[in-house]
Chain A
Amino acid sequence: MWDMKKLINDPEDVVVEALRGMAAAHPDHLRVDLEKKVIYRKDAPVRGKVGLVSGGGSGHEPMHGGFVGLGMLDAACAGEVFTSPVPDQMMAATTAVDGGAGVLHIVKNYTGDVMNFEMAAEMADADSGIQVRTVVTNDDVAVKDSLYTAGRRGVGVTVLLEKIVGAAAEQGRPLEEIADLATKVNESGRSMGLALTSCTVPSAGKPTFELGDDEFELGIGIHGEPGRERRPMASARELAQQLVEPILEDLPRKDGQPVLAFVNGMGGTPLIEQYLMFNEVQTILAKADIQVARSLVGNYITSLEMAGLSVTLLTLDDDLIGLWDAPVNTPGLRWGA
């Protein structure tokens, strides 16, 4: 009867049951609206603070629900697995977290996410008069001809942006400044990912694609979709090169500017391999005379159990470094608090 290697009950209940688990595991951090599938910071709305709302399909945990808390998001809307949430959720979240200073929607650039957040912003504006600004992240350099596509996807930079902009909101910066900062962070970062295996969407019940033992997908997104290109499997050293090179070609950065290097596991790649890859990335950057001032290694924006990895580089300045270092207290990212 059970022939899917997943720790679930009914595929239809995966998201709500996981949200129950999150609520139970983080009673001090989170309040979860199980009906609307929105995860709130326990003390939302925070008076006078710009509210940060993000959301997207589930299956990318800890993103976004795991990034709700002090110094990061005020609310995260959880869609079905790999399916963007719906405007009702975003409207509810927007209303609940507005502390009088307006709300920023952080949206990853996927047609579905963009359209649903668009509808929510239209409705929020019409219904409640809450000031809503939107940033759409699109850092994925795998998508090249953005004229002939839905544009670059939002991937790793989203995590960094939520942290940095969250810290700025915590400082009490106003909505316009927050929105501009978000745009700046998005424009300062680039990402590239690869997959060694596919993943299985619970309701589909089998892997989204099949990959030979001796090949990998280069230029993947985070929805288990095939990548831009299938290439022959190679050493960590060569793979790191294939990820970092296209990022560096496109990364806005002046000589001497340091970067934040983010090596992200897609869910099924062991941490030991992620650290090994971080070593390769760091070596490439050192050779290019690029200082890694801050770093992050781990599973932060995932595709269920996909084996694979993405690299994100973010060009830093003093403001961004200060905001990165500021306290954060969420289930998925925590320091200084």
Chain B
Amino acid sequence: MSRFLSPRVDYTLREALSNLWRNRLMTIAAILTVAVSLSLVGSAMLVKQAVANATVQWDHGVNAIIWLDPSITPAVRESIHQQLLAMPEDIASCYYNGHKADYAEARIVLRSEPAAFQALTPATTPPSYRCRLRNAVDAYAVASHFAKQAGVKNVTYPGQAIKTMRRTTTVLQDVLLVVAIVLMLSAAVLILNTIRLAIFSRRHEVSVMKLVGATNWFIRIPFMLEGFLEGLAGAACAAGIVLWLQKVFDSVVAKPTASGQPSALWVSTGQLVTTEIVIVIVAVVLSSIGSGLAVRRFLST
């Protein structure tokens, strides 16, 4: 390696790697802690996104959906519309979701049931009214009022399941995030301390370097690089773990359930990639803070 790099780059890399190896116990602990904390951050993000995906139908406080026949005539639709307006004591507000909007949504919700989605076209996808009710317990009354009307296919309202799921995931996310933040703190301190120990075990070398006129950055960079390498190694592990967790989760939990219920918990590739990028960024920030503090505090001129 040393043949192809400039002496200075070569020196920097050599120093950083040998420091990491010298305190390998510490290095491993730092990497693992970074990995665990970032995996938790990643998991929290994925859980949030998966639940959002699964419950996209119930966004904006919607708690009842009246599905219409795809072939409904404008007159029948108008009559239903008037009836909805006529129930202001039960129904707070409604909005109409057309064929195309529902087809687009189905693409997300039915993602894990591709056969069911294949069978749909925009034209055959039922349009719907999305309603917020004054009182969630009125849902049954509203449903039974509309269910048997002409032009209405069926009426769905979220069961206990969706509420529990949202509550659970909110708590789960909060817990994951708190734990992740605590661990990030530990990770930063661990990085700071590997560097501190490295500086300590090289204090003779450092004092000689200062005496003979090494610039501050020449002395600092190998130590900071050490912190960066730890952070990146941790991020790489975390990225792997998140990918694996998502697979496990997919195969265990994310099974299709009866329609109307929230369907499979899944995340898109885009969301996964975003999560991985966030992990790397957090790692870089984390290790910069750790190593920055360490060199600033323990390598003072």
Instruction: Please determine whether chains A and B interact with each other in the same assembly.
Output: no
- A→B interface (CB under 8 Å): none
- B→A interface (CB under 8 Å): none
